[in-house]
Chain A
C-alpha cells in the first residue's frame, strides 16, 4: 500500500513539472499552430541560470530564501527575455511562411540554445548547491519531502492562476480570440503581435520555474536536459490535446503518474519479461493508445477553446 502511495506521490510531482512545461507548448500551438521545439531548451536555460545564480550567491551572507528567490527571478527574467527575442527574430519573420519553415527553425533554435549553454556552462553536469531543506513528512505510509510539497503546491497554484488568466481576464479573452483567428482578432482591436509576445513571455516564465524546480528536485542541471524534458512535456501536451490548456495540465499529471507506475510495476506485472528500462516505452504506449482512440487528445476540442 505505502509503495503504491509512494509511486503516486513521485508521479504526481514529476507530472506537475511536465504539466508546467507542457503549458508552454500548448499555448504557443494554440495561437500559432507552431510546435516550439525550443521550449525544452528554454527550460534548460532556466535551470542553468538558477543553478549558476544560486551557486554564485550561496557562499555569501544572504539568507537562503533570498538566494533561492533571486535565482528564480534571474531564471525567469532570463527566460522571458530569451523567449521574447526568439519569437521576434526566429518565428515572426516566418509567420506567413509554409508551416514546415518555422518548425525547422524551432529545431534549429533548440540546437543553437543547447550549444550556447554548452559554451557558457560547459559539458559537465552541474550540481545544485546544497541549500535546500532536507525535511520530510509521512503521508499514508509514504514519504513526501518538503521539496516535493513545494514543487507540487507551486505548480498547482501556477496552473490555477494561468487558467483564471486565460478564462477570466481581458488579456485571456484577447488570447483566446487571437487563437481563433489572428486577423479577425485584429479587427476587434487586438494587437496580434503583442498577444503572441505575451504568450511567449508567459510560457517562458513557466519554463523557467519548471527548470528551477527540476534542477532543485534532481540536484543537477545539464545543457542536454531540455531535450528529454521537452519531449516528455510535448507528449503530455499531445496526450491532453495540444492547444488545450487544461488538457496540458491533465496530460502532464497523467504522464508523470503513468511513468512512475509503469517503471514501478511493469517488471512485477510481466514477471520480469519487460523490465523497468521500458518505462518510457510504457508512457509512449499509453500516449499512442489514447491518440488512436481520441486523435485530438483527452481534452482536445475543436478550435473554439484554444488559447
Chain B
C-alpha cells in the first residue's frame, strides 16, 4: 500500500462516524451501539441482569444471522450500564450512553429510573424502549423518543382492580405500595378501578423498596379485617410480606403486579406464597408465540428467565426492525419509523399507540399452586 493510499481510509472512517453509522469493526462491518440500562447491583440486580441478558441474546443472534442496514453490513454492540435502580444514577448513565453514541437504548428496568432518563434520551434524540417500566407517566411526558413493549400501569392496575372485585369478590381491600413510581402508580390505578367496581379501600399503607419488615403495617391492616391485600412493588418486598401476613395470621388474599410474579417471590415467601395471585403484562412464557424456543436458547446461556428478558429481547429487535425499514441506524432517521412498528416478537405482536404504549396488551393472571406460578386467565387491556 502506498503512502497516498493510506489517507482516504481514516477520512472514510470519519465520514462514516459522522453519518451516524458508528465505527467500522475490525472485520469491516459498521458497529451500531445499543445501550442497555438496568440495575446490575443492589436488591433488584437479578432483574436488571435478566434484562441485559435478554438484550445480549438478541444482539448476538442478530450478529450471527448477519445484519444489513441500507445495503451496508453492520454489527450490533451492546453497552450495558448499571443504573442501580436509582433515579439520579439513571440520568448519569443515560448521559453516558448518549455520549458513547448509542443508536438506541433498551431500558430502564424501573419506572423510577426510566422516567428521569427519558428526558436525557429525548434531548439527545435517541430512541428508548423500556422492556419493563409500567408507570403510565413515562409515555405521557411528551417525548417522541419514549416507547415501551410492556402494558402500562393504567392498563394493568385497571385490569387487576376489576378482577379483585368482580372475579375474586373482594369488598374490603387494603393496599400497600413501596412509594416508587412503579409501585405507587400501580397501586393508584388499582385503587381507582377497585373503587369504581364497588369495593371499599379500608387501609392504605406504605413501605420502601429496601424494607424487609412489614409487621407494623400488616398489624394495622389486620385491625381493618380486609378480604384482600394488594401490593404494588417488587419481589424482594413481596416475599417477606407474604411470610409476615401468614405470621401474624392475616388471612387475606394477596394480589400484586408483575414485580411480584417471579420465581424469586416463591423462594422468598416459602409456604406463604401458596395462593398468592399476581399479573404480568403479556402472555405466559410458554404460550408466547416464540416463548418455548426463546426459553431454551436463553436458559442454555444464562440460566432461568427471571421475568422481563423476553421483552428486552424484543425491544432490540424492534429497534433493528425500524433501522432496517429506515435504511439507517442514525437515530434522527429511523426514529420516524418506530411509531409505525408492526413486529411479531417473542412476546406477541408489537404495535404502538400515539403515546408509544402498546396499542393492545394482554395481561395474564397467575396463582401460586404447589410452589409454581400457574396461569389462571389472560385479560385484555386497551390504552
Contact assessment for A218 and B243 in the assembled complex, using a CB-CB cutoff below 8 Å: yes
Task: Please give the number of chain B residues whose Cβ is less than 8 angstroms from any Cβ of chain A in the complex.
Answer: 38
A220-B43 contact, Cβ under 8 Å, with A145-B247, A267-B205: no
Q: Cβ of A172 < 8 Å from any Cβ of B?
A: no
Per-residue CB contact flags for chain A residues 59-87 toward chain B (1 = under 8 Å, else 0) read 00000000000000000000000000000
Contact assessment for A3 and B240 in the assembled complex, using a CB-CB cutoff below 8 Å: no
Binds B, one of A89-97, A182-190, A268-276: A268-276
Q: Cβ of A199 < 8 Å from any Cβ of B?
A: no
Binds A, one of B52-60, B211-219, B325-333, B342-350: B211-219
A residues less than 8 Å from B267 (CB atoms): 127
Q: Name the residue on A nearest B267 (C-beta).
A: A127
Per-residue CB contact flags for chain B residues 207-230 toward chain A (1 = under 8 Å, else 0) read 110101101110110110000000
Q: Cβ of A306 < 8 Å from any Cβ of B?
A: no
B residues less than 8 Å from A145 (CB atoms): 247
Q: Cβ of B299 < 8 Å from any Cβ of A?
A: no
**Separation in Å of the A106 CB from the closest CB of chain B?**
21
Contact assessment for A218 and B42 in the assembled complex, using a CB-CB cutoff below 8 Å: no
Q: Cβ of B271 < 8 Å from any Cβ of A?
A: yes
- Which of the residues B45, B205, B208, B240 comes within 8 Å of A220, measured between beta carbons? B240
What is the interface residue range for chain A against chain B? 35 or more
Q: Cβ of B270 < 8 Å from any Cβ of A?
A: yes
Q: How far is the CA of A136 from the CA of B222 in the complex (A)?
A: 17
Q: How far is the CA of A228 from the CA of B213 in the complex (A)?
A: 12
Contact assessment for A6 and B243 in the assembled complex, using a CB-CB cutoff below 8 Å: no
Q: How far is the CA of A140 from the CA of B304 in the complex (A)?
A: 47
Can you report 25 A-B residue pairs in the complex whose CB atoms are below 8 A from each other?
A3-B220, A3-B222, A10-B215, A11-B216, A118-B41, A122-B46, A123-B42, A123-B49, A124-B45, A125-B239, A127-B267, A136-B249, A218-B244, A219-B240, A220-B240, A259-B216, A260-B215, A263-B217, A264-B216, A264-B217, A265-B220, A275-B204, A276-B206, A276-B217, A277-B179
**Separation in Å of the A88 CB from the closest CB of chain B?**
29
A residues less than 8 Å from B213 (CB atoms): 14, 218
Q: How far is the CA of A272 from the CA of B202 in the complex (A)?
A: 12
**Separation in Å of the A69 CB from the closest CB of chain B?**
21
Q: How far is the CA of A17 from the CA of B212 in the complex (A)?
A: 14
Contact assessment for A143 and B248 in the assembled complex, using a CB-CB cutoff below 8 Å: yes
Contact assessment for B268 and A276 in the assembled complex, using a CB-CB cutoff below 8 Å: no
Q: How far is the CA of A122 from the CA of B42 in the complex (A)?
A: 10
Interface centre among B40, B43, B244 (most CB of A within 10 A): B43
Q: Cβ of A246 < 8 Å from any Cβ of B?
A: no
Q: Name the residue on B nearest A227 (C-beta).
A: B210
Contact assessment for B243 and A3 in the assembled complex, using a CB-CB cutoff below 8 Å: no
Contact assessment for A276 and B216 in the assembled complex, using a CB-CB cutoff below 8 Å: yes
Contact assessment for A268 and B220 in the assembled complex, using a CB-CB cutoff below 8 Å: yes
Q: Cβ of B381 < 8 Å from any Cβ of A?
A: no
Q: How far is the CA of A143 from the CA of B248 in the complex (A)?
A: 6
B residues less than 8 Å from A263 (CB atoms): 216-217, 220
- Which of the residues A118, A219, A262, A279 comes within 8 Å of B268, measured between beta carbons? A219
Q: Cβ of A39 < 8 Å from any Cβ of B?
A: no
Interface centre among A122, A124, A279, A280 (most CB of B within 10 A): A124
**Separation in Å of the A255 CB from the closest CB of chain B?**
12
Q: Name the residue on A nearest B45 (C-beta).
A: A123
**Known pairs A11-B216, A130-B271, A224-B43. 17 more at Cβ < 8 A?**
A3-B219, A3-B220, A3-B223, A7-B216, A10-B215, A118-B41, A122-B46, A123-B41, A124-B46, A124-B264, A125-B235, A143-B247, A145-B247, A219-B239, A260-B216, A263-B217, A277-B208
B residues less than 8 Å from A176 (CB atoms): none
Q: Cβ of A225 < 8 Å from any Cβ of B?
A: yes
A residues less than 8 Å from B42 (CB atoms): 123, 224
